[in-house]
Structure formats: C-alpha cells, structure tokens
Amino acid sequence: VVETKDQRKRILDVISTIIAPWFTKPELLADFLTSCYNSGGSMSLLALSGVFYLIQERNLDYPSFYAKLYSLLDRNILHSKHRSRFFRLLDTFLASTHLPAALVASFLKRLARLSLNAPPSAIAFVVPWIYNQLKRHPTCTFMVHREIKDADMKKRMMDHGFEDPFVAEESDPMETKAIDSSLWELVHLQSHYHPNVATIAKIVSEQFTKQSYNMEDFLDHSYATVSVMLSFCAWLREQC
C-alpha cells in the first residue's frame, strides 16, 4: 500500500524503467498509474511515463489521454523541475503525423501563450520545440503565416484589429480554435528583454530552412547556465 505522496512520487520516478518491466502483467499497474495521472500537478507529470509505457507496451486504452495531457500545460509547467522530462515525452506523444492539425495547434498555441510569462531558460527551448513541431506538422504553419484573401475581413482587421479566436479556457484541445489563430506570442518575444531570447524567437519569422533542432541542446538548463545556453541558441540561429 502506498500511503504518502512522497512514496508515490518515488515509485513513479522509476516505475517505467525499473518496476513495470519486471511485471509479468504490468497492466495491473493501470489503476495506480491512471489515478496518479488524474490527480494533477507534479504527480501527473511523474505518472506520465508510466501511463505511456502501458499504452505503448500493453495497449492501455486511455480515451482522454490528449485532453489530460493538454491540461498539464499550465503556468507552472515551464517552472517545474520536471519540465525536461515532460517535454521529452510530449515530443514523443506529438510525433505522429497522423494527429489532427487542430490537436497539435492547441499544444503549440498554449505553449506560445505560456512562454509570455516563462523564464528565459524555458523560452529558449519552447521556441525551437515549436519550430520542430511546425516542420513535423506543416498544416499548422498557417499559424505563422496566414494570408487573408477576403477583402472585407482584411478591411475589418485593418479598422478594428485582430481578435484572437483561441479559446484559452477550453479544456478539449480539439475545440480551442487554435488552428484559426496565430502564434503572435512568438513575434512578441522578439522584443524580449533578454537579447538572446529575442534572437532565438526570430527563427519563426524567417524561412524554415533548418530541418529541425536537437532538443537535447536546449533541455536541462537552469538559471545558472541560462546565459551560456542562450548564447549557444543565438549562435545556432546564425548558422541556419
């Protein structure tokens, strides 16, 4: 019996690498893992790898998996000590090119919005991560460059400005209307107070000539190493 939250966290930290592989029937862990995954906060982040293990290895049916995953993208995620682990998994979950564009767009838009209040070390990997996703899911590139052909709509936008159709409060990633929105947040970051953050943010305004970024170059950095890492980011952009 797991009695305390700390005990649960210690188990979840190693469950997919040390515990589950030794189970002849790892699906017996399903109730424990889904309960932890549904509990929210850091517990959900730690349970994520275990739930994915069961989905991948034992065909666990979790119909609301992406909706729950989307709910984990809150204002704390980019400050969490588990963020590197989370983004490695998130990259795997969004790897399939068969995912609906509306679903992927919601994740991109939510992260772009969260990056407005994120620390520089987090912004510096969110931007290349979004770039990689746009390369992987080209139908979402309309969020970067959408040409308005309707003359009346263009005039209304010129007269009254653009109203972002993204519904930030919507919990279902298929219903946020993010695919009809834009990633204006990343353009806003081009004026960030940290010059190297501003530099790396400019990759979304240039031609997408780079195949993709190696995210391992951006993850696992702390406030102590952010200046060095951001200088490296700026250098990488200059090489494109």
User: Is residue 16 predicted with pLDDT exceeding 90?
Assistant: no
Q: What confidence category does residue 109 fall into, taking pLDDT thresholds of 50, 70 and 90? A: very high
Closest-CA residue to 217 (of 237, 202, 199, 188) = 237
Write down the pTM of the prediction.
0.80
Q: What confidence category does residue 160 fall into, taking pLDDT thresholds of 50, 70 and 90? A: low
Better-scored residue on pLDDT, 106 or 153: 106
Instruction: Summarize the confidence of residues 192-214 as an average pLDDT.
Output: 82
User: Is residue 226 predicted with pLDDT exceeding 70?
Assistant: no
Q: Which residue has the tokens 């510096």?
A: 124
- Cβ–Cβ < 8 Å for 221, 229: yes
Instruction: Summarize the confidence of residues 158-168 as an average pLDDT.
Output: 80
Q: What is the pLDDT of residues 169-181, one digit of tens each?
A: 999 999 999 999 9
User: Is residue 225 predicted with pLDDT exceeding 60?
Assistant: no
Instruction: Summarize the confidence of residues 62-81 as an average pLDDT.
Output: 86
- Cβ–Cβ < 8 Å for 183, 112: yes
- Cβ–Cβ < 8 Å for 190, 202: yes
Better-scored residue on pLDDT, 226 or 185: 185
d(CA 77, CA 111): 10
Better-scored residue on pLDDT, 218 or 67: 67
Instruction: Summarize the confidence of residues 216-233 as an average pLDDT.
Output: 55
User: Is residue 2 predicted with pLDDT exceeding 60?
Assistant: no
Q: pLDDT value at position 1?
A: 44
User: Inter-axis angle of helices 120-136 and 101-115, to 10 degrees?
Assistant: 160
User: Is residue 156 predicted with pLDDT exceeding 80?
Assistant: no
Closest-CA residue to 42 (of 107, 106, 86, 108) = 86
User: Inter-axis angle of helices 30-37 and 41-58, to 10 degrees?
Assistant: 140
149 exposure class (CB count in 10 Å sphere: 0-12, 13-18, 19+) = exposed
